[in-house]
Structure 1
Amino acid sequence: MEPMFSPPLHRQRHQFVIDFVKRNKPKKVVDLGCSECILLKKLKFHREVELLVGVDINGTKVRKKMYGLAPISTDYLQPTYDQLRIELYQGSVTHKDARVRGFDLVTSIELIEHLTLADVERFSEVVFGYMTPAAVIVSTPNSDFNPLLPGLAGFRHRDHKFEWTRAEFRSWALKVCLEFGYEVELTGVGQAPSGQQEGVGFCSQIGVFHRLGGRDGCHMSLGDEVEDVFSYTLLYSVNYPSLHDSNILGRVLVSEVLYWAEKLKGKWKEEMTGEGNGAHTLRQPEGGEGCVSERCTEVEEKQTACGAEKRNLVEQCGKGASEDQEEEDEEGFWTNGEKRQDSSTLRRSVSVPLDVLWSCCPKVSALSGSLGNLRRLLMDDPQVKLSQDGAAVLVNDQELDFEEEEEDHNDLGDSGYAELGQRSHTAEQEEDWEANVDLEDAALFTGQ
């Protein structure tokens, strides 16, 4: 049997909120009656939201699902400049708390029908008079629709204190607007069968309230003394990784620099082994963006050669060096502080100029902002070794056996061995009636 609503009604209500968020791009959103955080889990993917808050009187339900809102591994591996903080509180929507004032959007999905009428008055005062959000979305069952629901006797859920008709909901909404300075659009989700929509309306009726004057038209009827009210209990909070965090920015930048330095070193070595055209230039690596081939001559002229005949982007240093030559090397390529490891071994470093990295790697330039910033950000990182003048990244190439290198020197001749200089009460509760309709697919229209 086909379900009565497709998608199920609770999903249509959530999608209504998501569509609103996509259109209006609120930065601060609070969901009253968040329960098991189903709506929050959907909203966290809309990264225009910078602060996402859930409030529910049932702390047990919140604790049960709150860790599902934590960042996942890809959020840490590929952070963006988007910022998101999530906070979950235990508290009543009839109580005030300064931490949820002045938001761009407040949602109350199938909540107010669980309150007594006296608490509805307090809810109105807290949400519209105290919290003063720019927009509020309130959904509640429409009792005019109830005769179309098969097998329904009484309210849709045993905890409902009332279920308003469309006229009653409209009356409450207009009263709120007059008292607290809002305007409202009445709509809903869950359409009636063909020909009956006008007579009964939507299964869930929705009021979308907008504060008069927009985000700057804050209507304060309760005075400033409420600023110090903190009645909610914080259950969970988390900041998603963002490139606005200097530590995270530094980690991602270093990761990119080391990756591209190794890639550029490998590309140069391929060309030097004869797979290229024999020219000692650094060309654009496969999959890279931008090209630095036109700058290679300029880069070559900036490099210090160990021998007069070995001027290039990458050069071998210290091979069979005398004490004088070693001293000269220290001033040139031995800037990583790793000279001869013992009497028979020598560590080679490849020097990758920062301006080459800057030109080859758009992400490196985007993250650092300028060549000067790039040098400054890398300077104090223990994973990165810079040349003495700070103009190049030093990448370890390999350890060579010094004595074997001497033996092979005559065979190698001037072969070009070289080194490069080196990222509510309760949450939306599924009504008893809805659970039967959506989960058991048992409810059908009977031609009414």
Structure 2
Amino acid sequence: MEPMFSPALHRQRHQFVIDFVSRNKPRKVVDLGCSECSLLSKLRFRREIELLVGVDINGAKVKKHMHRLAPISTEYLQPSFDQLHIELYQGSVTQKDTRLRGFDLVTSIELIEHLTLADVECFSEVVFGYMTPVAAIVSTPNSEFNPLFPGLASGFRHRDHKFEWTRAEFRSWALKVCLKFGYEVEFSGVGEAPSGQQEQVGFCSQIGVFHRLGGRDGFSMLLDEDSEDVFSYTLLHSINYPSLRDNNILQRVLVSEVLYQAEKLKRTWTVEETDVRNDICTLYQTERQGEACFSKQHVQTGEYSYTACGPEMHCNTLEQCRRGVLVYQECEGEQVLWTNGQERQEPGTLHRYVSIPLAVLWACSPKVSALSGSLNNLRHLLLDDPRVKLSTDGSAVLVNYEEQDIEEEGDDNNVEDSGHAEASQHSHSTVLEEDWETNV
């Protein structure tokens, strides 16, 4: 059978949720009947979400597919300031659990039709009366669309369905929920009927989008401080995504960036210093064209001046922000700094370093300044890290004078649910691919 919908119907339902999240930017989201975690695996890329929770009665299926939610390698190598925590629970949507109260968004995609009508009443009490989310998205099959499926003149789309509502029946249930629990609802759907039949049969999947009256401000008024905490669900999996808000991760990323930028500055200085020296030799060879004299100022600043046939000219071999680069020496454990052209020599083996002031790094590297926030924070974060060698007063990073290869700069900015429940001994299990949606 040729596919009836493009994109597939379950993808359209997921996109409906993603579009809602993009517009409303909820921070805490729970998906009831998360099944194979396919909707969660898409929502985890929405940066506005800080807490993402999935609940399903079929814990074995959740465990089988929870690998979809694992952070990818680039999220460890180039973490962002966004933070995301994911939790997966085994539990029934007809039972209360304190940990799911006060969320910004609850989704229930093709779930309620797997419940008995008595369980639907419990579902309404739990979701809208106890969890009291700011918003909820509930989708369910529209039975009026069923005759458009070949061979489905009667019956349900899936063998585990306990009912399939018409648009009027779904609207009646939704309006009762709003009246009882203080919500308002908008009706929509996905899976359009063929041309000319949309008004007659409606969408294949009908959707109710519920908004709590009073929005976020109304939740505190609904909380009962004297009520006991209830923990009915079993935690199956929990993970914190790498984030620069974690000080350990922030320090690791910052140190790597500092060492990379310091090596780049050192290489630029040494290359341009060589070019200036070559220019000096060339100028002496052309003295016959005019009297020329050179006054080598400070090697460590990369700045030279000379006069040739008149006015003084300056050759700045580094950008202004790089003029703090100095040549640094270490003598048998004692540190010796070249300053103002005066160099102090001590007997013994000398090791040459290039000193990169932290102020230069902070000013020249937008990423270093963004990560550290301030010069004082930069110094503090580098102070006790064994990978960084600092000057005695902690004001500069010391880089080996000898050439070192550095890697090419990377991209600094980086860092399916079938929609149905498997038929099981539990009527409200998370949803499997429905019989009539395999090819739609």
The bucket for the TM-score relative to the shorter chain is 0.7 to 0.9
Whole-Å separation in 1 of the counterparts to 2:386 and 2:223: 55
| Cα offset, 1:198, TM superposition | 0.8
Aligned to 2:90: 90
The 8 Å contact of residues 109 and 139 in structure 1, kept in 2 or not, is answered as yes
Which digits, 9 at most, give the CA deviation of each residue in 1:106-142, with x for residues without a partner?
Answer: 0000000000000000000000000000000000001
Aligned to 2:356: 352
Aligned to 1:181: 182
The SS at the match of 1:355 is helix
| Cα offset, 1:374, TM superposition | 0.9
Which residue of the other structure, out of 295, 314, 336, is the alignment partner of 2:326? 314
- Does residue 77 (structure 1) correspond to residue 77 (structure 2)? The answer is yes
The SS at the match of 1:133 is coil
**TM alignment of 1:25-424, pairs within 5 A:** 25-152=25-152, 153-218=154-219, 223-274=224-275, 280=299, 281=301, 293-295=319-321, 299=324, 313-315=325-327, 317=329, 330=335, 332=337, 345-398=349-402
Amino acid at match of 1:434: E
Which digits, 9 at most, give the CA deviation of each residue in 1:233-268, with x for residues without a partner?
Answer: 000010001111111111111010000111111111
The SS at the match of 1:178 is helix
Q: CA separation of 1:382/1:21 partners in 2, compared to 1, >3 Å: closer, same or farther?
A: same
Let me know the Cα RMSD of the aligned residues.
2.6
Whole-Å separation in 2 of the counterparts to 1:379 and 1:135: 47
Whole-Å separation in 2 of the counterparts to 1:180 and 1:277: 82
Whole-Å separation in 2 of the counterparts to 1:20 and 1:10: 16
The SS at the match of 2:237 is strand
Whole-Å separation in 1 of the counterparts to 2:253 and 2:369: 12
| Cα offset, 1:2, TM superposition | 3.9
| Cα offset, 1:273, TM superposition | 1.9
| Cα offset, 1:369, TM superposition | 1.1
Q: CA separation of 1:282/1:214 partners in 2, compared to 1, >3 Å: closer, same or farther?
A: farther
Q: Runs of 5+ in structure 2 lacking a partner?
A: 281-295, 304-316, 339-344, 404-414, 416-420, 422-427
Whole-Å separation in 2 of the counterparts to 1:315 and 1:35: 62
Q: CA separation of 1:225/1:145 partners in 2, compared to 1, >3 Å: closer, same or farther?
A: farther
| Cα offset, 1:396, TM superposition | 2.3
| Cα offset, 1:372, TM superposition | 1.4
Whole-Å separation in 2 of the counterparts to 1:296 and 1:7: 54
The 8 Å contact of residues 329 and 351 in structure 2, kept in 1 or not, is answered as no
Whole-Å separation in 1 of the counterparts to 2:226 and 2:65: 35
| Cα offset, 1:432, TM superposition | 0.7
Whole-Å separation in 2 of the counterparts to 1:136 and 1:282: 64
Q: CA separation of 1:292/1:234 partners in 2, compared to 1, >3 Å: closer, same or farther?
A: farther
Which digits, 9 at most, give the CA deviation of each residue in 1:370-390, with x for residues without a partner?
Answer: 111111111111111110111
Whole-Å separation in 1 of the counterparts to 2:302 and 2:161: 72
Please identify which structure carries the higher strand content: 2
Whole-Å separation in 1 of the counterparts to 2:231 and 2:54: 15
| Cα offset, 1:427, TM superposition | 3.0
Q: TM-score, normalised by structure 1?
A: 0.79
- Percent identity, please: 72
| Cα offset, 1:347, TM superposition | 2.8
| Cα offset, 1:225, TM superposition | 4.9
Whole-Å separation in 2 of the counterparts to 1:5 and 1:330: 73
- Does residue 434 (structure 1) correspond to residue 431 (structure 2)? The answer is no
Which digits, 9 at most, give the CA deviation of each residue in 1:183-207, with x for residues without a partner?
Answer: 0001111111111111111110000
The SS at the match of 2:219 is coil
Q: TM-score, normalised by structure 2?
A: 0.81
Whole-Å separation in 2 of the counterparts to 1:361 and 1:380: 21
Q: Runs of 5+ in structure 1 lacking a partner?
A: 284-290, 300-312, 334-339, 400-422, 439-448
Which digits, 9 at most, give the CA deviation of each residue in 1:38-74, with x for residues without a partner?
Answer: 0000000111000000000000110001022011110
Figure out how many residues of one structure are paired with residues of the other and give that number. Answer: 379
Whole-Å separation in 2 of the counterparts to 1:257 and 1:397: 16
Aligned to 1:337: none
Q: CA separation of 1:225/1:266 partners in 2, compared to 1, >3 Å: closer, same or farther?
A: same
Amino acid at match of 2:128: F
Greater Cα offset, 211-220 or 16-25: 211-220
The 8 Å contact of residues 132 and 219 in structure 1, kept in 2 or not, is answered as no
Amino acid at match of 1:194: S
| Cα offset, 1:360, TM superposition | 1.3
The SS at the match of 1:145 is helix
Whole-Å separation in 2 of the counterparts to 1:277 and 1:362: 32
Whole-Å separation in 1 of the counterparts to 2:100 and 2:236: 15
Which digits, 9 at most, give the CA deviation of each residue in 1:211-244, with x for residues without a partner?
Answer: 0011111287784454510000000010001111
Greater Cα offset, 207-216 or 369-378: 369-378
